[in-house]
Amino acid sequence: MTSAADLPLEDRARLLTGADFWTTAPAPGVPSIVLTDGPHGVRRQVGASDHLGLNAAAPATCFPPAVAVGSSWNPDLARRIGAAVAAEARALGVAVVLGPGVNIKRHPLCGRNFEYYSEDPLLAGTLGAAAVQGLQSAGAGASVKHFALNNQETERMRISVDADPRTVREIYLPAFETIVREAAPATVMCSYNRIDGVHASENPWLLTTVLRDEWGFEGLVVSDWGAVHDPVAAVRAGLDLEMPHGPHSAGKVVAAVRAGALDEAVVTRAAQRVIDLTRWAPSDDEPAPDLDAHHALAREAAAECAVLLRNENAALPLGGASGSIAVIGELARAPRYQGGGSSHINATRVDVPLDEIAARGADLGVAVEFAAGYGLGDAGDGEILRSEAVAAAARSGVTVVFAGLTESEESEGFDRPDLAIAPQQVELIRAVASAAPRTVVVLVGGGVVELEAWHDEVDAILEAFLLGQGGGAAVADLLFGMAEPSGRLAETIPHRLEETPAFGNFPGELGTVRYGEGLLVGYRWYTTRGIAPRYPFGHGLGYTDFAVDDLAVRATGPDAATATVRVTNTGSRAGSHVVQLYIGGGPGPVLRPRRSLAAFRKVALDPGASMTVSIDLPRRAFAFWDEPRGAWVTAPGTYKVEVGRSSADIDAAAEIPLDGDTIVDALDMESTIAEWAAHPVAGEDFRTALAGAAGGMPVDQLLELAGSMPLGKALDMLPGPAGDEARARLEAAVAAR
Ligand code: BGC
């Protein structure tokens, strides 16, 4: 393969910006390759190109988007979907698939939450790493995006994020870090936004110090489409490939090198990375993917992603005994199964929930009738549609209402203004619920919505999010119990906007968004503040039940542990349970969220079966980011490990003492008296000296009074001869340490 060093500077610079919308520039001996969206399918545009999902793309399987896969809590599923997407990508001539997106769901209104996995970094990182492994194992390069702190769509190309360093390290970077370290993605895509005023595309701290120097990333950094403002600053910061084509970029890079403003070696290195990336190029005769098998996988995956939020009076599963079924809601007939924007897939086929329910009903000999209930957009007369629906509900044994967000209400490019669904849908649900013997609501949408106006009036709620092209069949399977609900919420459902963590700090003002909630994102906020949301992170019901007991935790080193716990399926159906391990609080000099997810495992069990699960709790589960040290630190002390079925429903807890890190700080006259007294090496001598100088006051009391004083300041302030003597003693202790 050509080496960048052998190419003239002009050719090297030319490699650093795309040839057009989706392809890299060729150079002598270097082919051009295609990078395209993703990530829940391949969006290979064959005609006009755009990054907003406007123009048509070749047909491809539309798998469940990340919002759904996040709720599966199943990395293996993410891996299998990744491999299937890669096979289709190669067959469509694509080398790199632009995904997965692993930004944290900081706020429920983010218009792109459907493209992200979770509000929790461990869950997002684990699923993202699996997706990358799946993609790359089957021959397509991945592009983990959007790096970093891109948590809203409002002003996404200009907004500057102001977040404290510990929050950045503990919440917003770990998913990327896990993926880089564990899955070695071919590329990382930098985001549009600024961080502390500096665009991510031109941010040397982000793209070089953290990504390469600390995490050891060896792949290529590509810009989000149009994220580069100053191509020279971008290359200098560590960006390798600007996408799409920047007409003046190569010329500017060459000029900067010639003027001595840009190190030529940096250009050569970036060009080499573009050359290295071409190894992902598919061949001209890739096998045709098995689209039937992929559709079956899309359907299987969808069934594992939906979350059963509520199931009163055993309203679900439906069966012969449910009586006739009324299916209500235009969204049952015109399903939404993916979000809008750059990830929009041209599905190979789409299962329609209404048809699937009707088919299951027919098999069981149960009558199924349909009423639209509401129109999408301005379509239909709301009152007439509603009264038809109410009449259908009144004469049926059970009513299934499909409601949720329509396509115009959420997309890449803008954030939602509120958590509401359309008022006519709310009215419909209430009217139907008061007429129907039993009401089941199937919620559709890429973001969570407010349920309060009707929650208590319905018997069951299936949160179906956006489930991809097999979602219709999967929902029918779940409703009839042919599939077992096993999704768990990867994000909190609040009662109302006002209780959400970033309320008042979203989407920012005057060009800056301040992450004022700090670490307390998602369930970390609700658990720490003692606020019960409508449905907590981790929640999800099934048709069977599980007992969880025998939690035991043992240390496996100074800063790590292993937990074992027994899970038993106590119900009468096979099903899956997600073991969720949380660290509660923790010792150390920093605020710890009341609960942080430390590890999880999804287990499938037959009725009556039991299994003891052993899960490692690695160092990082206990550590905090110590900004002054620029390092992860595990504080010595006792940690609480909790096993729960959600972040608010804990089955058992155990305590584990850990030695943690021994930190020996250099002491000086700026160190406080308390720091001196607590020092593992000098502390004892110092306390003896302090006792001598304390004039009879117990040392602990003195420490309480004056512990926060820098030693130098304290010595300066000691009065008279007694002071001189004390000073001499303390200085001797200092000198002797
Ligand atoms: C999106 C990326 C996407 C790119 C290419 C951008 O607008 O933010 O996620 O990969 O377009 O379509």
- In this structure, the residue with its CA closest to atom 12 of ligand 1 is 51
Distance 10 CA to ligand 1 centre (A): 28
Query: Can you give the pLDDT at residue 381?
Result: 83
Q: Is 145 in the pocket of ligand 1 (CB under 6 A)?
A: yes
Tell me how crowded residue 589 is: count the other CB atoms within 10 A of its CB.
8
Using CA atoms, how far residue 146 sits from 191, 194, 361, 518, in Å, is 5, 12, 44, 20
**What mean pLDDT comes out for the span 730-734?**
69
Pocket test for ligand 1, best of 23, 34, 37 (most atoms within 8 A of CB): 37
Does 721 score more than 80 pLDDT? no
Of ligand 1's listed atoms, the one at least distance from the Cα of 98 is 10
Amino acid at the residue 336: R
Distance 50 CA to ligand 1 centre (A): 9
Q: What is the DSSP string of 282-308?
A: --TTPPPP-HHHHHHHHHHHHHHH-EE
Q: What kind of architecture, by CATH, is found in domain 303-529? A: 3-Layer(aba) Sandwich (3.40)
Does 737 score more than 60 pLDDT? no
- In this structure, the residue with its CA closest to atom 5 of ligand 1 is 51
Would you list the domain boundaries of the chain? 303-529, 546-658, 673-736
Of ligand 1's listed atoms, the one at least distance from the Cα of 115 is 9
Amino acid at the residue 296: A
Of ligand 1's listed atoms, the one at least distance from the Cα of 99 is 10
d(CA 385, CA 379): 10
Percent of the chain with pLDDT over 90: 89
Pocket test for ligand 1, best of 36, 43, 51, 96 (most atoms within 8 A of CB): 51
Query: Can you give the pLDDT at residue 728?
Result: 76
Q: Is 224 in the pocket of ligand 1 (CB under 6 A)?
A: yes
Tens digits of per-residue pLDDT, 570-604? Answer: 999 999 999 999 999 889 999 999 999 999 999 99
Distance 506 CA to ligand 1 centre (A): 22
Distance 143 CA to ligand 1 centre (A): 11
| Chain position carrying tokens 């349920």 | 451
Q: Is 51 in the pocket of ligand 1 (CB under 6 A)?
A: yes
Query: Can you give the pLDDT at residue 733?
Result: 65
- In this structure, the residue with its CA closest to atom 3 of ligand 1 is 342
Query: Can you give the pLDDT at residue 60?
Result: 98
Does 668 score more than 60 pLDDT? yes
| Cβ neighbours of residue 90 closer than 8 Å, sequence gap 6 or more | 138, 139, 140, 282, 283, 286
Tens digits of per-residue pLDDT, 79-137? Answer: 999 999 999 999 999 999 999 999 999 999 999 999 999 999 999 999 999 999 999 99
Q: Chain-wide mean pLDDT for the chain?
A: 95
DSSP H helical ranges for 436-512: 471-479
**What mean pLDDT comes out for the span 461-481?**
98
Q: Is 225 in the pocket of ligand 1 (CB under 6 A)?
A: yes
Does 466 score more than 60 pLDDT? yes
Q: Is 37 in the pocket of ligand 1 (CB under 6 A)?
A: yes
The region, left, alpha or beta by phi > 0 then psi within -120 to 50, assigned to residue 35 is: beta
Indicate the pLDDT class of residue 369, thresholds 50, 70 and 90. very high
Measured between its terminal Cα atoms, the distance across the chain in Å is 60
Does 653 score more than 80 pLDDT? yes
- Strand duo 512-514 + 187-190: pairing: unpaired
Does 379 score more than 90 pLDDT? no
d(CA 308, CA 292): 28
Does 54 score more than 90 pLDDT? no
**Which two tokens mark 577?**
């349970």
Pocket test for ligand 1, best of 342, 345, 411, 412 (most atoms within 8 A of CB): 342
Of ligand 1's listed atoms, the one at least distance from the Cα of 150 is 8
659 part of the active site: no
Distance 37 CA to ligand 1 centre (A): 7
Q: Contact 389/373 with Cβ under 8 angstroms?
A: yes
Distance 319 CA to ligand 1 centre (A): 44
Distance 617 CA to ligand 1 centre (A): 35
Pocket test for ligand 1, best of 45, 224, 345, 412 (most atoms within 8 A of CB): 224
Three-state DSSP class for residue 190: strand
Element (H, E) at 633: strand 631-633
Distance 224 CA to ligand 1 centre (A): 6
Label residue 84 exposed, middle or buried (CB < 10 Å: 0-12, 13-18, 19+): buried
- In this structure, the residue with its CA closest to atom 8 of ligand 1 is 224
Amino acid at the residue 172: Y
Q: Contact 418/121 with Cβ under 8 angstroms?
A: no
d(CA 236, CA 546): 55
Pocket test for ligand 1, best of 97, 155, 201, 225 (most atoms within 8 A of CB): 225
Distance 147 CA to ligand 1 centre (A): 12
Indicate the pLDDT class of residue 52, thresholds 50, 70 and 90. confident
Q: Is 342 in the pocket of ligand 1 (CB under 6 A)?
A: yes
Domain 546-658 has CATH 2.60.40.10: yes
pTM for the whole thing? 0.96
Query: Can you give the pLDDT at residue 1?
Result: 80
Using CA atoms, how far residue 339 sits from 63, 132, 537, in Å, is 12, 21, 22
- In this structure, the residue with its CA closest to atom 6 of ligand 1 is 225
Tens digits of per-residue pLDDT, 303-319? Answer: 999 999 999 988 999 98
Indicate the pLDDT class of residue 734, thresholds 50, 70 and 90. low
**What mean pLDDT comes out for the span 227-246?**
98
Of ligand 1's listed atoms, the one at least distance from the Cα of 50 is 12
Tens digits of per-residue pLDDT, 675-714? Answer: 999 888 888 888 988 888 878 899 999 999 999 999 888 8
d(CA 609, CA 524): 33
Does 348 score more than 60 pLDDT? yes
Active-site residue, selected from the candidate residues 37, 224, 351, 415? 224
Tens digits of per-residue pLDDT, 518-549? Answer: 999 999 999 999 999 999 999 999 999 999 99
Using CA atoms, how far residue 679 sits from 262, 590, 638, 664, in Å, is 47, 18, 20, 7
Query: Can you give the pLDDT at residue 380?
Result: 76
Higher pLDDT pick, 729 / 115: 115
Q: Is 98 in the pocket of ligand 1 (CB under 6 A)?
A: yes
Query: Can you give the pLDDT at residue 83?
Result: 98
Beta strands of 12-99 (E only): which ranges?
Answer: 35-36, 96-97
CA neighbours within 13 Å on the CB side: how many for 200? Answer: 29
Phi, psi angle pair for 251, to nearest 5°: -60, -40
Distance 276 CA to ligand 1 centre (A): 22
Tell me how crowded residue 606 is: count the other CB atoms within 10 A of its CB.
10
- Sign of the dihedral through C-alpha 14, 15, 17, 23: positive
Tens digits of per-residue pLDDT, 175-219? Answer: 999 999 999 999 999 999 999 999 999 999 999 999 999 999 999
